[in-house]
Amino acid sequence: MLNRTRNIKKHSSRGRRIFDDFDSALRAGLSEGLTIIKSNGRYFDFYFEDRNSPVTLVTFHAATGPKTVEYPIFTGSRFAEKLGVNLLAFADSACGGAEKLLTFWHQSTKRVPSGKFIPSIIALTQRPGQEKHLIFFGSSAGGYAALHYSTYFPESVALVMNPRIELLGKPDRFDDYSRKAYPGWNPQMIAAKIPTSMSKWYAKGRENTVAYIQNTGDRLYYENHFSRFEAATREQSNIHFKIQNWGKGHIVPPANEYMEPLKSLVNHAPNWNAGLSNFAS
């Protein structure tokens, strides 16, 4: 796998802050641009755009390609600008540093406790008198993260595309990636430490709303991920599905298939079910 260069200049046009510890970053609150938090010799990065909107889009990027040469990586800036909403975008810290993984699904590593950092940073959007309606967004590995972290905010909605649901399922990635994310640990120990199944996570019901887009031409994800999540949640009225064939393989649907639902969610926030009334059509 190629080494990756840390390039923060490309994300610094709106400003840049760096903190030596997580508590200092929390005390400082949100500020436009790139925020960097040092953590045990690694960096945790997030990016914020403030448009004074009552809605904040919270995004998680998908797995990087094997030829990706720079990090951190953020997604959603163009979407947020078109929608006129705030953006809070997270980079997967495991994609950089010595780990340089394709993804670790935005979960904690041995050096960076992302599972602690991410909910606490998102909670900064919910300070009294400044509460924002939250739309979580991600595809594939980013979809896993969006589904996971949305549950910490019961009044939020997650819109996901072809998401990973079972970290221990196919394609087989967990054992290899986890050994790099947690040097010296065995995969069974790591699987007990972080959530590894969104079908189990949602099986007993969650208060957040989910809009799940699945390409039926992606047989690997349809059979090993979508089918399990759908079976675990089919009686839940706050889970909405849009299922269609957009082509063979693990590809995202055409832009209108997710931009139109996003626009509707923004326009109806926080009445998510109303915003998704035409979602499956």
Predicted local confidence at residue 281, as pLDDT: 63
Q: What are the helix and strand counts (H, E) for the chain?
A: 11, 11
Rounded distance between C-alpha atoms, residue 104 and residue 108, angstroms: 8
- Strands 16-19 and 239-244, bridge-based pairing: unpaired
Residues sharing a CB contact under 8 Å with residue 228, sequence separation 6 or more, in sequence order: 165, 166, 169, 199
Amino acid, single-letter form, for residue 232: A
Instruction: Return the pLDDT at 127.
Output: 87
The residue to which tokens 């999540």 are assigned: 229
Question: Do 163 and 139 meet the contact criterion of CB atoms below 8 Å apart?
Answer: yes
d(CA 81, CA 172): 36
Interhelix angle 141-150/114-122, rounded to 10 degrees, is 60
- Whether the Cβ atoms of residue 161 and residue 140 lie closer than 8 Å to each other: yes
SS3 label, residue 176: helix
pLDDT recorded at residue 239: 97
Q: What is the pLDDT of residue 103?
A: 97
Please give the Cα distance from 96 to 109 (Å, whole number): 12
Residues 6+ apart with CB under 8 A from 69: 2, 3, 4, 5
> Which CATH architecture group holds 5-268?
3-Layer(aba) Sandwich (3.40)
Q: State the Cα–Cα distance between residues 270 and 265, nearest whole angstrom.
A: 8
- In this structure, the number of other CB atoms found within 10 A of the CB of residue 259 comes to 13
In the DSSP assignment, the letter for residue 64 is P
3-state secondary structure of 269: coil
> Which of 119, 178, 109, 117 lies closest to 148 in space, CA to CA?
119
| H helix intervals, the chain | 22-28, 77-83, 114-122, 141-150, 174-181, 187-193, 198-203, 219-221, 227-233, 255-268, 272-275
Q: How far apart are CA 207 and CA 116, in angstroms?
A: 20
Please give the chain's pLDDT, 281 residues, in tens: 567 899 999 999 999 999 999 999 999 999 999 999 999 999 999 999 999 999 999 999 999 988 888 999 999 999 999 999 999 999 999 999 888 999 999 999 999 999 999 999 999 999 888 899 999 999 999 999 999 999 999 999 999 999 999 999 999 999 999 999 999 999 999 999 999 999 999 999 999 999 999 999 999 999 999 999 999 999 899 999 999 999 999 999 999 999 999 999 999 999 999 999 999 86
* pLDDT at residue number 226: 98
